[in-house]
Structure 1
Amino acid sequence: MPKLSKRIENFTDSVIRRMTRIANSHGAINLSQGFPDFDPPSELKNALEKVASGSIHQYAVTWGAKNFREALAKEQSKFMGIPIDPQTQIVVTCGSTEAMMAAMMTVCNPQDKVVVFSPFYENYAADAILSGAEPIYVHLRPPEFKFDVNELEEAFKQGPKALILCNPSNPTGKVFTLEELQTIAYFAKKYDTFVITDEVYEHIVYDPYQHIYFASLPGMFERTISCSSLSKTYSITGWRLGYLIAPSHIIDGARKVHDFLTVGAAAPLQEAAVVALNFGDDYYEELKRSYIDKRDFFIKGLDKLGLKYTVPQGAYYVMVDISEFACESDLEFCEWMAKEVGVAAVPGSSFFKDNVNHLIRFHFAKKKETLEEALKRLEKLKDKARERWQW
C-alpha cells in the first residue's frame, strides 16, 4: 500500500480536543477545551429560530453573505479604528481556525519560514506544517511572558514570510503592550514580513490592560491579515463563524484558498449573527464585567487550594504550575486528574516548543456553579496526587 503524506507525521491530533473526549469518558468537568457551558444572548437564539423557519438554507456568497460582511465591517471599523470595505477586505470563514489556515496558505510557499511565539495555541504549528512552512519559535518568558528583542530579531533575520501573533494570547492570557507591538511592527517592516493575527479574545481583556489591534498601527494594515471569529465574544463556538480582514489584494488570494477549503460558512448562521454584530457598547462592557467576575472567582479558589498560577491579562485561561506534584508527564497528570479528581485541564506541553511539563491550562468560561463544583473537586487534588506520586 502507498504511504501516507509525510506532513502528518510531524504533529498529533489536537491535545485540547482529546482532553474533551477524556473528560466526557470520565464524567469530568471540562476546563480544558475553551467553550462556555452557558447560552449565547437570547437575541441570537431568537434570531436563529426565526431564520430556521425562513427560507435562507442554501449557499451564501462564497466569501460571506453581503449583510453579514456589511455588519461586520461596520463593527470592526469602529473597534479597530480603521475603515474596512465589506466588499473587498473581508472573507467570512468556518471559524477562526479556517481563517488562520487560509491566511497561512495565502502568503506562504513551501519551505518559507514563519515566526511563532512559544507558548502558542497548538493549531499554529500544524498550520505552518500543513502549509509546507517551517516554524521559528521565539520564547515568551514567564511570569509576564515577554519576549527578548534580540531573540525576536534573530528570528526575523532568518527571512520569515510571516509572524503569527495571538493577542490576547492563548494559552497565557498575555496582552501585548503598545511598545511590544511597535517592536514587532518595526521588524515586520524592516525585514518585509507579513503579520497574521489571531484576535479572537479581543473583547475579553482585564483592566488595566488594553487590546490594541496590530493592523491599526501606522503602516501595518498593508502587511497584516487580521483573523478572528464570533465564537468567544458571543458564546457561539459551535456556530463556526470566523473571518479575515486584510487589504484587497491579499483578500483576493484568501478568497481563492477559502473557496476550495470549505466553499463557505453556514448561510443561516450568518443571517442570525447579524443581530449580534449590531449590539451596542453596553454588551461588550457587560461581557468584560462577566469575565472579570469569573476570573477573580476562579483564581481566588486556586489561592485557597494553594495552587500557583499566572494571573491572565486577557482571554479566559489560567496556567497552573504543577511542579510540586513531582509528575514527570503533564499529559499523564491531566489524564489522571480527569479520571481521579473529575476535572479536566490541558497539559501545558502541547503549547510549548521546548520540553515543558510542569504547567497545565484551565479555562473559566463556565457558569459560577460549574466553577464552584470544579474547585470543590480540586480540594482533593493534593491528597490524591500525594498518594499517586509520593511527593
Structure 2
Amino acid sequence: MNWNRKDEQPSVREALKPFGTTIFTEMTALSNRVGAINLSQGFPDFEGPEEVRQAAADAIMRGPNQYCPSMGIAPLREAVAEKMKRFYGVSVDADSEVTVTAGASEAIGAALLGLVEPGDEVILLEPTYDLYPPMVAMAGATPVYVPLQPPGFTLPREALQKAFTPRTKAIIINNPLNPTGKVFTEEELAFIGELCRQSHAIAIGDEVYEHLVYDGKSHTTLLQIPAFRNRAIVISSTAKTFSLTGWKVGYGVACQKLTEAVRMSHQFITFCTPSALQEAMAQAISMDDAYYQEFLERYTKKRHLLCRALEKMGFDVLWPEGTYYASIDISDLEFEDDLAFCRHLAAEVGVAAIPASFFWHQRRAGRNIVRFCFCKRDETLNRAIERLARWKSRGLVQSDAPR
C-alpha cells in the first residue's frame, strides 16, 4: 500500500478478509440481544471446581504476580507430563517437551507460525473448527480441505491420501471432533500417521475434549501412535475439563525439536500465561480419578437429557461419541439454510444454536446441520427443551419459517 496517498486507509489484510466475525460471536450476541437460552457457544453456565478457583485466588494473593517462564511454570509442565503418563502411558519430558500457552487456540497458532512456511499446504478435515482456516491463512499457508464421510464422518482414506502432496507441511486433527462429536479410531489415526511419515508432514492434534468420550469408547492421543511420536504436537487445554473457559490455559506436547518451534513463536505472541492460573491448573490436572469419572458421568447424563428430548420432538439427532455438542438434521424443515433456522430459533423460540455450515469451507455441505451445546446446568437444558417442545407442538416448524 502507498501510504502517501491521502485517500487510502489501513484495512484488514487480504488473507483475513474472507473470514469476518466468528459465528460464535454472532450467535451469542443475538442470544443476548433477544434473551434466548444460549446453547450456541460452548461455555458452561456454572463455575469450575471451588478448590481450583481458590488455589488461583491464593496464588494471586501470595504472589509473585510477575512474568513467569515463557515455557510455563515447572509445576504445571510436570503435571501435564504426569497426566500423559497416567492416562495414555506416554512418557514426556516436562522441561523439553511441554509448553504452556494462552489456551489451546494460541498453541495451535504458535505451532503453525513456528513450523509452516508461506506456500505450504495444511490439510483440514471437514467439518473443521472455524479457528483453523484463518490460522493457516495468517501463517501464509494454503488450506486443503478433505470432507469426512457422513453419516458417521468416517475417514475418506483414498481422498486423504490424494490430498498429501510434496507441499503438505501439516494436518490438523480435532479429536474428538467439534461439531459432530466424532471420535477417531486408533486405526484411523495410524493411517494418518503413516501418510504423515511418508510425506514428512507433521500433525497438530487438537484434543481439548479428550476427557469427554462416551459409550465405553476411549480417547487415543496422537502420541500413542508410533508414527506420530516425533512428528505430532498434541494440544489440549484445561478450559473444557475444568469448566473454566475464561482462564485460557492450554498446552502443547511434542518432541524436543517440534517444541522448540512452538516455543520460538509462542514467546513472540503472548510470552507467558498468568502464573497464578497456571498454579491452580497444575493442581486441577492432578486431581484424582474420581473427579474425571464424575465429570464424564455428569456429561453423559446431560447428553442423554438433550438428545433424548430432541428425538422425542421428532428431530433426527446425531448423538456425539465425544465433546459436549449434539446436532440435529433440519433437511426436512422449510428453512433456507441452517443460519436462517438458527436466527429464527433464537429470535422466535428463545433458544440459540450454531449453524454447522460454518464448519465447512463450502457452506452448502453443512447447511442442514445445527449444533446445540449441553455444557449447561440441567435447569438451563430443561428450560430450553420446554421452549423447543412448545414450539414444535404448535406445528410452527414449517409454516412460520422465513422463505
User: Following the alignment from structure 1 to structure 2, what is the Cα–Cα distance between the partners of residues 167 and 381?
Assistant: 34
Hey, what does 1:270 align to over in structure 2? 278
In structure 2, the residue matched to 1:93 is 101
Work out the CA distance in 2 between the residues paired with 1:157 and 1:364. 39
State the partner residue of 2:401.
389
2:69 equivalent to 1:61:
yes
Displacement, 1:336?
A: 1.7
Q: Structure 1's 90 and 390: CA in aligned 2 closer, same or farther, altered over 3 A? A: closer
- Structure 1 Cα separation of the partners of residues 273 and 367 of structure 2: 38
Match of 1:134 among 139, 142, 160: 142
The structure 2 residue matched to 1:78, chosen from 62, 81, 86, is: 86
In structure 2, which of residues 357, 365, 382 is the aligned counterpart of residue 372 of structure 1? 382
Q: What is the TM-score of this pair, normalised by structure 2? A: 0.94
Which residue in the other structure is 1:194 paired with?
Answer: 202
Residue aligned with 2:172, SS: strand
Q: How many residues align?
A: 391
Bigger CA drift: 191-200 or 373-382? 373-382
Check conservation: 2:194, 2:227, Cα contact below 8 A: no
Tell me which residue corresponds to 1:228.
236
The answer to whether residue 183 in structure 2 is matched with residue 175 in structure 1 is yes
2:181 maps to amino acid: G
CA separation in 1, counterparts of 2:141 and 2:317?
A: 34
Q: What's the secondary structure of 2:28's corresponding residue?
A: helix
From 114, 130, 141, give the equivalent of 1:106. Answer: 114
Using the TM superposition, give the Cα deviation of residue 158 of structure 1 relative to its aligned residue in structure 2, in angstroms: 5.5
Q: Deviations over 1:103-157 (max 9, x none)?
A: 1111111111011000011101111111111111111121110121110101013
Please tell me whether the aligned partners of residues 117 and 138 of structure 1 are also in contact (alpha carbons under 8 angstroms): yes
The structural deviation recorded for 1:390 is 7.9
Alpha-carbon spacing, 1:387–1:326, altered in 2? closer, same or farther (3 Å) = closer
Stretches of structure 2 that go unaligned for 5 or more consecutive residues are 1-7
Q: List aligned pairs for 1:310-321, cutoff 5 A.
A: 310-321=318-329
Q: TM-score, normalised by structure 1?
A: 0.97
Checking the alignment, whether the CA contact within 8 Å between 1:172 and 1:318 is kept in structure 2 is: yes
- 1:10 touches 1:129 (CA, 8 Å); kept in 2? no
One-letter identity of the residue aligned with 1:231: A
**DSSP 3-state at the match of 2:317:** strand
2:268 partner SS: helix
Cα distance between partner residues in 2 of 1:104 and 1:152: 20
Contact 1:295–1:316 (8 Å) recurs in 2: yes
Task: Determine the C-alpha separation between the residues in 2 that align with 1:373 and 1:296.
Answer: 16
2:42 is aligned, of 11, 34, 46, to: 34
Deviations 1:210-261 (A, max 9, x none): 1101111113110001111001111111110001111112111211211111
Deviations 1:40-59 (A, max 9, x none): 11211221232232223111
Q: Secondary structure at the match of 1:46?
A: helix
Matched letter for residue 387 of structure 1: S
Distance 1:158 1:12 in 2: 31
Q: CA deviation at 1:76?
A: 2.1
Percent identical: 38
Distance of 1:149 and 1:94 partners within structure 2? 34
Q: 1:19 aligns with which of 6, 21, 27?
A: 27
CA distance in 2, matches of 1:238, 1:390: 36
What is aligned with 2:3?
none
**Distance in 2 separating the partners of 1:190 and 1:381:** 53
Match of 1:335 among 339, 343, 349: 343
Asked whether 1:308 is paired with 2:320, we answer no
Runs of 4+ with deviation above 6 angstroms: none
**Alignment partners' CA distance in 1, 2:373 and 2:120:** 34
Cross-structure match for 1:348: 356
SS at structure 1 position matched to 2:194: helix
Instruction: Classify the secondary structure of the residue corresponding to 2:184.
Output: coil
Aligned-partner SS, 1:76: helix
| Counterpart selection for 2:296 from 248, 270, 288 | 288
- Give distance in 2, aligned partners of 1:189 and 1:204: 29
SS at match of 1:161: strand
Q: CA RMSD in A?
A: 1.5
Q: CA offsets, 1:180-220, max 9 Å, x none? A: 11111111111111000000000000023211011111131
Match of 2:264 in 1: 256
For structure 1, list consecutive stretches of 5 or more residues without a partner in the other structure: none
Q: Distance in 2 between matches of 1:179 and 1:249?
A: 26
Shift of 1:10: 2.3
Quote the residue 1:205 is aligned against: 213
Paired with 2:396 and 2:65, the residues of 1 have a C-alpha distance of: 52
